[in-house]
Structure 1
Amino acid sequence: MYHQSNLSNHHQSNEHRNISTTIFVTFLFIPLFFSVVYGNNIISKSSYIDAEEFSNGAIAYAYPISNITVDGDLSDWPKSLNAYPIQHRPLGNSSRGKNDFEAYFHVGYNIKEKAIYVIAVVTDDSHIIDTSSTAEWNTQDIFNFYFDEQHSPNGSGVDLYQYGKSYKHTNDQSVSWDPSKKMTNWDNIDIVHSRKGNKTIYECKVKMEQQVALPKTIGMDFVFVDKDTNDRKPSNSYITWGNKLGKSSFPARLGDIILMDTQMKTGVVEGRLSWKQNNEKSYPEYIRYTSEKTPRLWTQILVDSTGAYNVELPVGKYQISYATQTVKNNDEVIRIDTQEHKIVAIQENQKNIAPTMAINSIKAPDLIPKKGVLHNFDKKNTEAIDRFIKTYQEYYQIPGVSMALIKDGKIAYHKTYGVKNTFTKAKVDHNTLFEAASITKPVFGFAVMRLVEKGIIDLDKPLYQYLPFEDIAHDERYKLITARHVLSHQTGFPNWANNNPDGKIDIKFTPGTQYQYSGEGFEYLKRVIVHITGKDMNDILKEEAVDPLGLENTYFSKNDYLAKVKSNGHFDNLPTPADLPENPGVASTMHTEAKTFTNFLIGLSDRKGLKPSTYDKMFKIQTVIPTDEEDPEPDGYENYFGLSISMQKTPFGLSFGHGGNNGDFRCLAKMYKDLDMGFVIFTNSNTGKILHNDLDQFLVTGKL
């Protein structure tokens, strides 16, 4: 098994280009005010509710309102309207006090105007505006507003509006996985903001495409970006309403706004999940409630670590179902039977208990032989290989696969499976390109070694002597960092700076003394090489890697051809936008397919394009990859890094290659040098890693 990098960020849209998709759930004891406004009549109740006991994700109720002027002023909003706190802090600095970065919002609708009204109030001890020509979303305080009118349980396109005093941006729907989604347009929304004391008010009117139907659930959420005066770009703090980021890519990460009429009542329901098998550890993250009478009224409810949940919903009968077909248990993926449904009737003013959902796991397939089939491979084996891929692909809910096998130093078999997009059902074919994620790194490493041979860069010369790195210049240890440290993951940098609580890059240890996987190091080396060569990185990669190794169908940044042939990624079988990188990122932005990439493995195995002495340096052990006690290597093999190459010592001799993980794309390229055989597999799913590991056993090692 090769090292899989953490979630890369290039494929995410601008509002979270530096935001991890890690789940953050904040449990606070907070006041929630439930005040329902019916025109000028107010029925209110207020209470303190422990959020740990009432943790239902993000749900808000919208009632009819009128006579609202979008001017950044709260005075025409009903005084007792529900106030929903925006409190999750997924990244950045912790609060310095009650006046530092807190927020809440009100929401309502107007049927005659076909509009949703929202007003958000942010308390912040400073408000930063960037009026420069280079102003971006992460150089100032920004309001990110997400809206999904359709909000289908099966997924639908999301509009993102990024708004600041001197910055306006929308997401690009041309890369949306939802072909029915129209372009996000500023004509569909009015946003005004005002600053009063230490409060910033953002007021919005969103025009609906369809007539407002009641009751109905729409998707909506916020991410507020706080840029403090002493922060260095891109160091920011974030608060959100719903407890996840990546909201424009994943509509399930939006909060639910339930449009209510004035006569609707609500009730609280409690329920739980339990495993029929006693050995399972994790529970599905969400359970779905859908109104039997009005299916457009639905919500996904957060399930806690014990399998319990509770939620307040409009009274009526609901169907209870599973939101996904798989459950994650660390790196394990458990397929569950989703055919069972339950019915619960929610009534007002009484304790409603939902019937328990008994989870039944589906046994994982086991087609792995005692001896790998690639050892005695011939065309008769292809049916067994196809059956293996399709069986595991279906079980782990992997929409699309591109696979190629190497035998006797040549490509022996290549095939594609499944679809590029579960929504459109477009097929994967030989031209379909996948995100290669961290497999980009050894391709860049190969290019660097060619530049070393040409005397353009020295492996052991400190990089700051070529180009200083201002963001880390306060730590003198950075002056020790060399290209060798970068390529062997010994810089001391984190994988990505945004993985740190404050979002700032730092050095974890003296460079050259330990192992720490880092994409940041590769990006620093990229800037150095661009600086000293004066060339565009795309040109460097083409001249020094793509052309020498025959990687014709390989691209590192946006172009018209890539836009046509790229697959969508998928999370839990739902497609994500086919975002295209504006600029080449040498840690993660390569796009290619399996047949093409076999040329890279074969080229390295045959020592093509570099001097023998250079290959000796590349494959010399530079650092040992420590076994993660929480995720030990199941095969027990020793893992190492050479110069950008991941290596293993196995019972079958040396293997080398690299893995890749962009979250919604998972991939692995692996070559057994002594056997002269290997494989390349690209998947467009967050569940692809298990298929990679099982395929390795099926082809080479046999059952471990």
Structure 2
Amino acid sequence: MMSRALRGLVALGLILIGLLSASATVVAWQDPAAETSRKNQQTKVEAGTADLVRTFPIPSRNGGAVAYAMPLKNMTIDGKLDDWPADAERLPIKNLLNYPARYGLNGLDKVELSDNPNLSASFLAGYSKESGVIYLAIIVRDDKHIVDFESPFKTDSVEIFIDGKRSDIKIPAPEDPWEEHIDASQMPVLQYVGVAGNGAAYANKEGTNYTLKYGKIANTKTRMAYQTTGDLTVYEWAIQAFDQYPDSPTVLKPGKRIGLDIAVVDNDGGDSPSAWMCWGPLPNYFKGFNSSNLGDLILGEAP
């Protein structure tokens, strides 16, 4: 029989293994099975436009992803940080998705995700009650700046997922192609996309370098501008959140909680898949269809 001391060592080892597993920021995904109705606790998920199958427990509401946005005034959306408070909190974006069919690691599993030349990113957050917009400045360090306006999988970009109601709604995925079978008004989460270049982000029909997927950016107050200096790109946004797009904009006031996630997509050229890295919990379904898979943005009081 196992001695008491040996049993204690085994228990300690199991605890350490659990802690190490829980702290990982890189998650591997498996290819989806052919059938879609399996009952073995698998959950069909989507990242970008790729179906995935998750075979581990669904995370908590936000996995600890909570940000605070302070009221800001006299903001100019120009891709510069000179009108942001010097003491604004900068939050790291470093949850790395590994789905080989669409997104890869690009060597990021071997570096410190919060500070390396290959890819590191962070963001600032604020809001204006009067203007009805949320301000985001996303700072991306990337040694290879790649721009493509045809495929979301061949370009550097940022993706913003926002739910003004901070709801807990999950809808089924539509038939392919999604653009022909769903509208942003039917989605619990809006997906804004921006590319640091001159062209139509993700081949959107409006021809703008920032867009609202499955909707019309012209029906919102959302704006984006960028500045690239060396290996740093700043994507600065004024984002309009909605309780129901396009007719019910979210009223912004202190204490309001909003569902939010920010993803950075990094393509290094060639045939290698892009890296996809987010601030909030890694996707357990396409974030646009599952509002419980976001972090929380809390609107604060003026100091």
TM-score above 0.5, yes or no: yes
2:154 counterpart (134, 139, 146): 139
2:275 counterpart (237, 245, 251): 237
Deviations along 1:135-174, whole A, 9 cap, x unmatched? 21111112111111122245671111222223324333xx
CA change 1:110–1:17 in 2 (3 A) is: same
What residue in structure 1 maps to residue 226 of structure 2?
193
What residue in structure 2 maps to residue 124 of structure 1?
142
Q: Distance in 2 between matches of 1:67 and 1:221?
A: 25
1:207 counterpart (223, 240, 260): 240
2:33 alignment partner AA: S
- The offset of 1:125, in angstroms, is 0.8
What residue in structure 2 maps to residue 157 of structure 1?
188
CA change 1:80–1:203 in 2 (3 A) is: same
The answer to whether residue 83 in structure 2 is matched with residue 76 in structure 1 is yes
- Output the TM-score relative to the length of structure 1: 0.28
2:72 alignment partner AA: I
- The offset of 1:63, in angstroms, is 1.2
Q: Distance in 2 between matches of 1:7 and 1:83?
A: 43
What residue in structure 2 maps to residue 88 of structure 1?
95
- The offset of 1:61, in angstroms, is 0.8
Deviations along 1:466-509, whole A, 9 cap, x unmatched? xxxxxxxxxxxxxxxxxxxxxxxxxxxxxxxxxxxxxxxxxxxx
User: Secondary structure, in 3 states, of the residue corresponding to 2:117?
Assistant: coil
Deviations along 1:25-73, whole A, 9 cap, x unmatched? 9xxxxxxxxxxxxxxxxxxxxxxxxxxxxx9431101111112110011
2:128 counterpart (110, 121, 133): 110
What residue in structure 2 maps to residue 66 of structure 1?
73
Q: Distance in 2 between matches of 1:69 and 1:218?
A: 23
What residue in structure 2 maps to residue 260 of structure 1?
300
Q: Taking every aligned residue pair, what percent have the same amino acid on both sides?
A: 26
What residue in structure 1 maps to residue 246 of structure 2?
none
Q: What is the aligned-residue RMSD (CA, Å)?
A: 2.8
CA change 1:258–1:112 in 2 (3 A) is: same
Deviations along 1:614-663, whole A, 9 cap, x unmatched? xxxxxxxxxxxxxxxxxxxxxxxxxxxxxxxxxxxxxxxxxxxxxxxxxx
CA change 1:163–1:24 in 2 (3 A) is: farther
- The offset of 1:231, in angstroms, is 3.1
Q: Distance in 2 between matches of 1:23 and 1:162?
A: 28
Deviations along 1:299-330, whole A, 9 cap, x unmatched? xxxxxxxxxxxxxxxxxxxxxxxxxxxxxxxx
Q: Is the 8 A contact 1:24 1:243 kept in 2?
A: no
- Equivalent residue runs for 1:100-499 within 5 Å: 100-130=118-148, 135-154=150-169, 157-164=188-195, 165=197, 166-168=199-201, 169=204, 170-172=212-214, 183=215, 185-188=217-220, 189-208=222-241, 209-232=249-272, 235-245=273-283, 246-262=286-302
User: Secondary structure, in 3 states, of the residue corresponding to 1:113?
Assistant: coil
1:185 alignment partner AA: I
Q: Is the 8 A contact 2:169 2:290 kept in 1?
A: no
Q: Distance in 1 between matches of 2:142 and 2:48?
A: 21
- Equivalent residue runs for 1:668-679 within 5 Å: none
- Output the TM-score relative to the length of structure 2: 0.63
What residue in structure 1 maps to residue 12 of structure 2?
none
- The offset of 1:200, in angstroms, is 1.3
What residue in structure 2 maps to residue 371 of structure 1?
none
User: Secondary structure, in 3 states, of the residue corresponding to 1:248?
Assistant: helix
Q: Is the 8 A contact 2:140 2:232 kept in 1?
A: yes
Q: Distance in 1 between matches of 2:121 and 2:66?
A: 16
1:108 alignment partner AA: G
Q: Distance in 2 between matches of 1:110 and 1:247?
A: 25
What residue in structure 2 maps to residue 440 of structure 1?
none
User: Secondary structure, in 3 states, of the residue corresponding to 1:252?
Assistant: helix
Q: Is the 8 A contact 2:169 2:292 kept in 1?
A: no
- The offset of 1:247, in angstroms, is 1.0
Q: Is the 8 A contact 1:12 1:249 kept in 2?
A: no
Q: Is the 8 A contact 1:22 1:244 kept in 2?
A: no
User: Secondary structure, in 3 states, of the residue corresponding to 1:90?
Assistant: strand
CA change 1:242–1:184 in 2 (3 A) is: farther
User: Secondary structure, in 3 states, of the residue corresponding to 2:292?
Assistant: helix
Between Structure 1 and Structure 2, which shows a larger proportion of helix residues? 1
1:5 counterpart (33, 36, 40): 33
Q: Is the 8 A contact 2:140 2:234 kept in 1?
A: yes
Higher RCO (CA < 8 A, seq sep 6+)? 2
User: Secondary structure, in 3 states, of the residue corresponding to 1:223?
Assistant: strand
Deviations along 1:392-442, whole A, 9 cap, x unmatched? xxxxxxxxxxxxxxxxxxxxxxxxxxxxxxxxxxxxxxxxxxxxxxxxxxx
- After TM superposition, the runs of 4+ consecutive aligned structure 1 residues lying more than 6 A away are none
Aligned length: 213
Q: Distance in 2 between matches of 1:58 and 1:210?
A: 21
CA change 1:213–1:121 in 2 (3 A) is: same
- The offset of 1:19, in angstroms, is 6.0
Q: Distance in 2 between matches of 1:223 and 1:6?
A: 28
1:206 alignment partner AA: I
- The offset of 1:237, in angstroms, is 0.8
Q: Distance in 1 between matches of 2:83 and 2:117?
A: 24
The answer to whether residue 71 in structure 2 is matched with residue 17 in structure 1 is no
- The offset of 1:192, in angstroms, is 1.2
What residue in structure 1 maps to residue 40 of structure 2?
none
- The offset of 1:211, in angstroms, is 2.6
2:192 alignment partner AA: Y
Q: Is the 8 A contact 2:226 2:236 kept in 1?
A: yes
CA change 1:167–1:57 in 2 (3 A) is: farther
